[in-house]
Amino acid sequence: MRKQIAAANWKMNLTFQQGEKLLDDILRADIRLKSHRHAVFAVPFPYLLMARSEVEEETNYYVAAQNCYHKKNGAFTGEVSAEMLHSLAIPYCIIGHSERREHFHETNAMLSEKLDLCLEHFITPIFCCGEPLPIREAGTQNQFVELQLKESLFHLSADQAKMVVIAYEPIWAIGTGKTATSAQAQEMHAFVRSILASQYGPEVAGEFSILYGGSVKANNATELFACPDVDGGLVGGASLVATDFIEIMKALK
């Protein structure tokens, strides 16, 4: 079975002490994850070692960085490289989150470089794709997402690509008051898998974990994760509430 992943993206939230308490509260629930189920905590850079220490005795609990720079090293003050993350034994890194694309103008070409650097340093990228509201309203979301995948991912070999986790974000349904249905989520996840199949073949495409990143909450996770092509979620606000994220973890297939 494909890996089913509950990925918490804390974004720029919580003090060190609040983050430590949140992890303590989640771990206190003592949820035993089977080998195909992973809980991943994408925490701010200053908290990586704390989070790693919190989960390192747990089975199938991992830490992720929220970003890395697209160059290997150099005079890039304030940036963090994949090599640095690897030296801290951080196994996951989010690449190309919609907020990074929008606010920091990250391009598909830059994200291609980030993918290469993560894979070179044995870090599993969680690669984000998805369309904003004007694209969805124009009905061109498939072409938009296909281009994101082609320009960032398709230079990889099948063996390399299989190491990447995909996260589909319907940006138009995040904080806009609009809601994406589970049927819409499944439709886009199936489309993403079909694009991967066109490049790598259906067998390889069937091995990709594709997460849903559109306002996953405790009360909709079970319905969303039941979709055949939805392999978990990239969770924002609900990941900051221990009781909510615990329920989301329990909802994994």
235/214 Cα distance (integer angstroms): 8
> For the purposes of burial, counting CB atoms within 10 Å of the CB of 108, is it exposed (0-12), middle (13-18) or buried (19 or more)?
middle
Q: Which residues contact 29 (CB under 8 A, 6 or more apart)?
A: 242, 246
**Active site includes 169?**
yes
Q: Phi and psi for 56 in degrees, rounded to 5?
A: -65, -20
DSSP state of 163: T
Q: Phi and psi for 34 in degrees, rounded to 5?
A: -65, 170
**Amino acid letter, 231:** D
H-run or E-run covering 235: strand 232-235
Residues 97, 106, 121, 131: which is the catalytic one? Answer: 97
As beta bridge partners, residue 234 has: 7
Residues 54, 106, 169, 247: which is the catalytic one? Answer: 169
Both tokens of residue 223? 């319905």
- The three-state secondary structure class of 234 is strand
Q: Phi and psi for 38 in degrees, rounded to 5?
A: -125, 140
Catalytic residue IDs? 97, 169
